[in-house]
């Protein structure tokens, strides 16, 4: 065979890796692929948003829907808490009435699917405008990777807020539209006054941000005029900005909208998480997990880059007045709470884009991609990796009610309940939308019209018996909804003797007043089952089961009820009955690891261990780490039964800890036997001793087996696989 010559390469072209790296390097230096990446990413985000259901972040969207319903039914802007029994006549400036009217009409025409599409369109518009701002700074010699990496970080950041359909999405779009026009399209300035009218009626509280943007660019224009600089902006540009001021007052509240930005409760940062002040750690902490980058980490990267941009533009004498004012205003907002990181990021975008545009493409000696550009390429892949990892195909679509008091709302609707309902304001938005005027809540999270004193009374009544007593002395309360995590309130209700539990769902328990709601109490009181702990065995399961079945009949989608009934039947060893409910639980709760665990346990105890293994394994990716030991124990037990002792031993190693938990005696025996088979006599001895030490004398069969195995170990330390006759249950 002849040797390769320079004219005849030894390797085929597709194996010459250096040629591939050279080609990739040349492509990254070229601007021609940038539009393709942007279109691909925007299209991906649009599909991701349309495919993602409406989920619970907070219940604000539902009180907006309720406000919109009021607007269309009454023909007037709701300017009082008409849905509340707590001073319902107080007046306030409803600065997002336009958003309420819009989302209600969309829902009326297209349901939750329409809301999904509206959210997707808004997120797409925000990101398209963000790219418009970024791309407008591109220079001929600029490397596109820097600008695209900046855009990629903004995609991740916006996604962290874009899953909720709330008025802030309109504000983000308007912020970027104003910046885009004033920065790159001065001839479009005539569009800003009508945009102001739309903005102030959709989310008027953010008028200060619009004023900041207009003021920043107007100040820069006047400074440029004074210094003789020409940016191609005439006096019409200034007139268009000034015209936004009278446009601001084209709203139902007139000049009163000006106070809306300053009317928030003084102590709001103490009970609204998104208003909590940012910590110093949040400004500089970046964490990735499995190729994903969260919105908080994207913010930290942008904040660090902003510091660099300020230093670089100042030293290079390139800092523009408008960019400096926008950044300063953004920092002031950032100081008001964590929810303003998005406003800050949008206001900092012109400065960041201008700095990214100064990063030029330089020829790179040698093969491949230079490290800086390779880093940029990794950042470009992060939005795809992050969004793909977050997407869950098993969620109900187009609306996932998980975390909402859906069952309680359905029960009250079907029972035709009327009156005053006291509940956590955080969830009251959903209930007021579902139940309408028949049921009034104490307060939701609209701040205003509600204030610090309203929130204090609501929250303190959940933790103080005296506070609850005073609250029910102030108002006639017909129903109380108690979240599963707020069981102190349930204790106050029991002590008062005035309320009876009548229903429970996946989020909480509903109590009704015995006298004012006598018909509902007579028909639905839960007297045997503990609605907070369906496995509470103070009352025999035979007495609890009918009440759980009754709740299921009223709300067939109740996950806790199905789980409680299945678990109770399993504990009672009524496996044939339990399997029917376990299959239903799996069908309705495919993301709940308990559904796979229970099905597996039933199969395990009906001599179908090979089938059970698959269910136990499917529960792992759906469950938290503290759930895994139980799964490992069941896997070990089934593998023991089918005599795969080596694998059983591996799972018992991960699932059994005699020092921190009181493990079942049978599990300890199986673990010890598996340890003997694999040659771990030391582990087997300690397990058998632990079993004998903690097992009651009444369990004679288990004790005999353990003593027998321990005796054989003592007589023959090399004992291993000759003990298969010991495999009995």
Identify whether the C-beta of residue 300 lies closer than 8 Å to the C-beta of residue 285: yes
Any residues with CB less than 8 A from the CB of 266 and at least 6 apart, and which? 452
Mean model confidence pLDDT for the chain: 90
126 pLDDT more than 80: yes
Task: Grade residue 226 by pLDDT with cuts at 50, 70 and 90.
Answer: very high
510 pLDDT more than 50: yes
Closest Cα to residue 81, out of 96, 69, 91?
A: 91
Task: Grade residue 5 by pLDDT with cuts at 50, 70 and 90.
Answer: very low
Secondary structure (3-state) at 504: strand
Mean pLDDT of 554-558: 89
Q: What is the pLDDT of residue 462?
A: 94
Closest Cα to residue 265, out of 99, 451, 515, 475?
A: 451
Q: What is the pLDDT of residue 14?
A: 44
627 pLDDT more than 80: yes
- Rounded percentage of the chain residues whose pLDDT exceeds 90: 78
Q: What is the pLDDT of residue 377?
A: 79
20 pLDDT more than 60: no
Q: Is residue 397 exposed (0-12), middle (13-18) or buried (19+ Cβ within 10 Å)?
A: middle
Looking at residue 323, what DSSP letter applies? Answer: H
How do beta strands 439-441 and 419-422 pair? parallel
Neighbours of 292 (CB within 10 A): 17
Work out the widest C-alpha separation in the chain, in whole angstroms. Answer: 103
Mean pLDDT of 213-238: 93
- Rounded percentage of the chain residues whose pLDDT exceeds 70: 91
Task: Grade residue 537 by pLDDT with cuts at 50, 70 and 90.
Answer: confident
Q: What is the pLDDT of residue 696?
A: 93
Q: What is the pLDDT of residue 722?
A: 53
115 pLDDT more than 70: yes
700 pLDDT more than 60: yes
Mean pLDDT is lowest, of 2-6, 193-197, 330-334, 348-352, for 2-6
Tokens of 421: 């309902």
Mean pLDDT of 566-584: 94
Task: Grade residue 436 by pLDDT with cuts at 50, 70 and 90.
Answer: very high
587 pLDDT more than 80: yes
30 pLDDT more than 70: no
143 pLDDT more than 90: no
Any residues with CB less than 8 A from the CB of 198 and at least 6 apart, and which? 98, 174
Q: What is the pLDDT of residue 57?
A: 87
The better pLDDT of the pair 287, 605 is held by: 605
Rounded Cα distance between 658 and 633, Å, is 13
Secondary structure (3-state) at 105: helix
DSSP assignment of 372-440 equals HHHHHHHHHHHHHHHHHHH--TTS-SSB--TTS-HHHHHHHHHTT--EEEE--HHHHHHHHHHHGGGEE
372 pLDDT more than 70: no
Rounded Cα distance between 485 and 488, Å, is 9
The better pLDDT of the pair 468, 8 is held by: 468
* Beta partners for residue 289, in sequence order: 292
Mean pLDDT of 86-115: 97
Closest Cα to residue 631, out of 591, 606, 604, 608?
A: 604
Identify whether the C-beta of residue 374 lies closer than 8 Å to the C-beta of residue 24: no
DSSP assignment of 19-76 equals HHHHHHHHHHH-GGGHHHHHHHHHHHHHHHHHHSPB--S-SHHHHHHHHHHHHHHHSS
Tokens of 541: 């399961």
Mean pLDDT of 234-242: 95
Phi first, then psi: what are they for 461, rounded to 5°? Answer: -65, -20
Mean pLDDT of 107-119: 98
Tokens of 150: 């900046």
Question: How would you list the strands of the sheet with 508-513, edge to edge?
Answer: 439-441, 419-422, 479-483, 508-513, 499-504
252 pLDDT more than 70: yes
CA 260 to chain CA centroid, nearest Å: 28
Mean pLDDT is lowest, of 86-100, 118-132, 356-370, 468-482, for 356-370
Q: What is the pLDDT of residue 363?
A: 54
Question: Tens digits of per-residue pLDDT, 301-356?
Answer: 999 999 999 999 999 999 999 999 999 999 999 988 889 999 999 999 999 999 99
Tokens of 80: 């009082």
Phi first, then psi: what are they for 361, rounded to 5°? Answer: -85, 125
88 pLDDT more than 70: yes
pTM of the model: 0.87
Tokens of 398: 């187009």
Q: What is the pLDDT of residue 286?
A: 80
Q: Is residue 235 exposed (0-12), middle (13-18) or buried (19+ Cβ within 10 Å)?
A: exposed
Tell me how long the chain is. 729
């Amino acid at each position: 065979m002849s040797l390769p010559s320079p004219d005849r390469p030894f390797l085929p072209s597709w194996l010459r890796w250096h040629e591939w790296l050279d080609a990739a390097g040349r492509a990254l230096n070229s601007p021609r692929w940038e539009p393709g990446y942007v279109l691909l990413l925007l299209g991906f985000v649009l599909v991701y948003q349309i495919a993602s259901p409406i989920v619970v972040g907070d219940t604000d969207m539902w009180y907006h829907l309720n406000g919109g319903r009021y607007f269309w039914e009454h023909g007037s802007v709701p300017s009082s808490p008409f849905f509340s029994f707590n001073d319902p006549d107080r007046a306030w400036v409803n600065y997002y009435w336009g958003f309420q009217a819009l989302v209600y009409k969309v829902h009326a025409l297209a349901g939750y699917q329409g809301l999904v599409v509206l959210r997707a369109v808004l997120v797409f518009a925000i990101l398209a405008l963000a790219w418009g701002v970024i791309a407008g700074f591109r220079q001929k010699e600029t490397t596109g990777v820097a600008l695209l990496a900046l855009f990629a970080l903004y995609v991740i950041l916006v996604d962290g807020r874009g899953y909720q359909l709330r008025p802030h999405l309109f504000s983000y779009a308007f912020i970027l539209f104003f910046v885009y026009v004033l920065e790159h399209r001065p001839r479009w300035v005539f569009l800003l006054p009508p945009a102001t009218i739309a903005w102030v009626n959709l989310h008027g509280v953010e008028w200060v941000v619009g004023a900041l943007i207009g003021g920043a660019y107007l100040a820069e224009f006047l400074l440029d005029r004074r210094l003789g600089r020409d940016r191609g902006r005439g006096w019409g540009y200034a007139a268009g900005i000034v015209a936004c001021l009278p446009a601001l007052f084209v709203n139902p509240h007139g000049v009163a909208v000006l106070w809306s930005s300053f009317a928030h409760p003084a102590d709001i940062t103490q009970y609204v998480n998104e208003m909590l002040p940012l910590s110093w750690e949040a400004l500089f902490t970046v964490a990735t997990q499995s190729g994903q980058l969260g919105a908080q980490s994207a913010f930290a990267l942008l904040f660090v880059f902003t510091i660099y941009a300020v230093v670089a533009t100042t030293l290079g004498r390139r800092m523009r007045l408008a960019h400096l004012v926008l950044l300063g205003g953004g920092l002031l907002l950032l100081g008001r709470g964590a929810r303003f990181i998005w406003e800050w990021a949008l206001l900092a975008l012109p400065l960041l884009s201008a700095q990214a545009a100064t990063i030029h493409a330089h020829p790179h000696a040698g093969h491949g991609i230079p490290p800086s550009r390779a880093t940029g390429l990794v950042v470009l892949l992060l939005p795809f990796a992050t969004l793909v990892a977050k997407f869950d195909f098993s969620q109900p679509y187009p609306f996932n009610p998980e975390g909402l008091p859906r069952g309680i709302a359905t029960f009250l609707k079907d029972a035709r309940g009327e009156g005053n309902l006291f509940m956590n304001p955080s969830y009251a938005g959903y209930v007021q939308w579902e139940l309408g005027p028949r049921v009034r809540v104490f307060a939701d999270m609209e701040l205003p019209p509600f204030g610090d004193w309203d929130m204090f009374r609501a929250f303190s009544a959940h933790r103080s018996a005296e506070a609850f007593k005073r609250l029910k002395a102030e108002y006639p309360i017909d129903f109380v909804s108690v979240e599963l995590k707020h069981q102190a309130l349930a204790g106050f209700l029991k002590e008062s003797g005035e309320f009876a539990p009548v229903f429970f769902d996946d989020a909480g328990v509903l109590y009704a007043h015995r006298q004012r709601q006598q018909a509902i109490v007579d028909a639905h009181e839960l007297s045997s089952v503990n609605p907070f702990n369906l496995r509470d065995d103070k009352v025999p399961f035979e007495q609890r089961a009918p009440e759980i079945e009754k709740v299921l009949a009223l709300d067939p989608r109740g996950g806790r009820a199905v789980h409680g009934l299945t678990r109770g039947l399993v504990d009672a060893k009524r496996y044939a009955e339990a399997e029917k409910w376990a299959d239903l639980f799996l069908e309705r709760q495919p993301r709940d690891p308990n559904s796979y665990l229970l099905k597996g346990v039933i199969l395990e105890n009906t001599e179908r261990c090979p089938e059970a293994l698959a269910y136990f394994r499917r529960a792992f990716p759906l469950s938290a780490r503290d759930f895994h030991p139980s799964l490992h124990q069941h896997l070990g037990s089934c593998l023991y039964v089918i005599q795969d002792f080596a694998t059983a031993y591996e799972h018992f190693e991960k699932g059994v800890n005699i020092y921190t938990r009181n493990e079942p005696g049978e599990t300890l025996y199986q673990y010890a036997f598996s340890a003997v088979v694999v040659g771990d006599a030391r582990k087997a001895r300690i397990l058998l001793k632990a079993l004998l030490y903690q097992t009651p004398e009444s369990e004679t069969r288990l004790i005999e087996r353990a003593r027998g195995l321990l005796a054989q170990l003592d007589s023959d330390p090399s004992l291993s696989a000759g003990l298969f006759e010991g495999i009995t249950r």
